[in-house]
A and B are shown apart, each in its own frame.
Chain A
Amino acid sequence: MTVLVLVMAFCLTSCSAKAIAYNNYDYFGSPLEAIVYGSSKNVENWEKETITILENLKAELDPSYIHSDIYNFNNAKDDEKVEISANTFMLINQAKQIYDLTNGAYNPCVYYLVDLWGFSNVERENYYGRTWQGEGKESYLPLPSEDYIKAFTELANFDKVEIAENDGKFYLEKKNTLTTIGDNNYYLKVDLGGLIKGYATDLIFEKANEMGINKGYLSYGTSSIIVATNDKGQSFDLTLTNPRKNDIDTNITFAKIPIKNISVSTSGDYERYYMVDGNRYSHLIDGSTGYPINNNVFSATIFCKNSRIADMLSTALIVMGKDRAIEFLKSDYCVNNDITGLFTYKNEDKIEVYSTANNIEITNSNFELENIK
């Protein structure tokens, strides 16, 4: 009996689930949260390694971090060669591949457009020719003017970035990007925010596996999740956020899907947006038009083995619009790389869910599943 009690006590007290959360802006403007299962010592060491990984990424890739590769490139003029790290070189190349693959639907060069429409993470000093209207609480900034939208759309061209390798060193260079509006000169800028969080989750989870932590999940912001298994080695239930909560109903989610050992990324026009005269302006900018997306695709989710690819593709899918998104999900690229996905599309009173993902269960009667074959 005594032995039984001791065994029970040991089992109960050694349940080593540990939740950690980083709630600060230090790393790319989003909170990092993890629920992992491992010995306290391993988890503690892993937390330290996580900080090191994020510090290194910040020093290389954060556009607001002085002398990061991206900061240096963004502050360079045309024809100035900027030396970058092998890591940045690899990521820029991968971004270019996805940019080409999606015909620019994923576009890391929409830097100025994102700022112009009011969605950059930095405190804004430049209102691009606009002045505040009204007073006090009623004050507002008018929508961007056409000349800025047109000029910055032309700047959103990744083909004007030369990526080069020479004698083991790596370089980026802008070609013919100078754009003048009024008294101000603008040169192309990039922001790898569309893949950094995914890349960070990849690295941090790899480190966890190396350290013997292989159960749990890690989420970065609200859009990027990498999932192993729960503490019992089984799937987690992923629920997908209703992109029109309060507009069509009050349900928080619209679908459920069991997942394990996979990366998931979602993009949607429902978290960062504003309404003007009944029109929605979200942070998802179509680099080919210069405007926030307006194609009745509300959200897109990608499932694959690589978080940064999932991040880029979920953004691309929502920008593509319904027909292109369906074709893309059916493409050889997705099939050969085990990439599945889904997106929500408004069709009159219903929201259709076009999906190639397995085992999806629609949990909201306002949504209708359309399997892509």
Chain B
Amino acid sequence: MKKIEKVNKSVFFKPLDIAFYAIISILIIVLLCVFLIPKNENTLEKIEIYKGNEVIYTYDYNLLQGNIEKLPSETLIEEYDENNCHYVKIITEESYNLVEIGSNYALMKDANCSHYAPCVNNFSAIKKDGDIIVCMPHQIKIVGVGNKQNSNEVRI
């Protein structure tokens, strides 16, 4: 009987206990949010333009501006804005590539690699991390950089 009375008199949760469990609960929720809420996989962070295996130009979507990283010899890079798009021209004595960078995509707008220009006609626009457009004859490559995909799908 004494024991029952003792239990009845005691407070089930002391204030310190409540604070402790509250902190633990918040920690769990934060951890779950950080690790389990899916990140937006389709956001482009950067567009990289390569000549050969060197990055010569990057466009940063956070800053909304481009930067010439390295100018290969006898190469000219020109930039201009038109119709809400940013254009990058890579010009050498014989070759010409025009890259169009939109708000969430990039594509090869024009090239004189041959009259066929597969990089202009065959490649879909870059819209997510890992998307690539290649101009083989001029060794120009455009690469989308963003969040890495982490799905169960593999495409070939």
Residue of B nearest to A13 (CB): B35
Q: Mark B27-50, 1 if CB is under 8 A from A, else 0.
A: 110010011000000000000101
Q: Which listed residue (B114, B130, B139, B153) contacts A21, Cβ 8 A?
A: B130
Cα separation A301 to B48 with both chains bound (whole Å): 31
Cβ-based interface call for B138 (8 A): yes
- Cβ contact within 8 Å between A141 and B122: no
On whether A225 and B114 interact (CB within 8 A), knowing A5-B27, A12-B31, A123-B137, the answer reads: no
Min CB distance B66 to A, Å, is: 18
Cβ-based interface call for A121 (8 A): yes
Min CB distance A155 to B, Å, is: 22
Within 8 A of B (CB), among A80-126: 118-121, 123-124
- Cβ contact within 8 Å between B153 and A237: yes
- Cβ contact within 8 Å between B156 and A222: yes
- Cβ contact within 8 Å between A29 and B136: yes
A to B contact number (C-beta, < 8 Å): 117
| Count of chain B residues with a beta carbon within 8 Å of a chain A beta carbon | 37
Residue of B nearest to A301 (CB): B156
Q: Which listed residue (B112, B114, B154) contacts A227, Cβ 8 A?
A: B154
Q: Which listed residue (A19, A237, A271) contacts B148, Cβ 8 A?
A: A19
On whether A23 and B122 interact (CB within 8 A), knowing A8-B31, A241-B156, the answer reads: no
Cβ-based interface call for B110 (8 A): yes
Cβ-based interface call for B143 (8 A): yes
- Cβ contact within 8 Å between B155 and A239: yes
Residue of B nearest to A299 (CB): B156
Cα separation A112 to B28 with both chains bound (whole Å): 63
Q: Which listed residue (A17, A23, A141, A240) contacts B150, Cβ 8 A?
A: A17
- Cβ contact within 8 Å between A123 and B138: yes
Cβ-based interface call for A203 (8 A): no
- Cβ contact within 8 Å between B150 and A35: yes
Within 8 A of B (CB), among A14-37: 15, 17, 19, 21, 23-26, 29, 31, 33, 35
Cα separation A26 to B52 with both chains bound (whole Å): 8
Residue of A nearest to B117 (CB): A274
Cβ-based interface call for A373 (8 A): no
Cα separation A141 to B115 with both chains bound (whole Å): 6
- Cβ contact within 8 Å between A217 and B154: yes
Interface centre among B115, B141, B150 (most CB of A within 10 A): B115
Q: Which listed residue (B21, B50, B110, B112) contacts A23, Cβ 8 A?
A: B50
Q: Which listed residue (A25, A139, A264) contacts B53, Cβ 8 A?
A: A25
Chain B residues within an 8 Å CB radius of A23: 48, 50, 132, 141, 143
Within 8 A of B (CB), among A181-206: none
8 extra interchain contacts, Cβ-Cβ under 8 A, other than A24-B50, A272-B136? A1-B21, A13-B35, A21-B130, A118-B137, A123-B138, A124-B137, A137-B110, A274-B115
**What are 22 sample pairs from A and B whose C-beta atoms fall under 8 A apart?**
A5-B27, A8-B31, A23-B141, A25-B50, A25-B141, A137-B110, A137-B112, A141-B115, A222-B156, A225-B154, A225-B156, A230-B152, A238-B155, A238-B156, A239-B153, A239-B154, A239-B155, A272-B118, A272-B122, A274-B114, A275-B116, A275-B121
Residues of chain A at the chain B interface (Cβ within 8 Å):
1-2, 5, 8-9, 12-13, 15, 17, 19, 21, 23-26, 29, 31, 33, 35, 118-121, 123-124, 134, 137, 139-141, 217, 219, 222-223, 225, 227, 230, 234, 236-241, 245, 252-253, 259, 264-266, 270-276, 281, 301
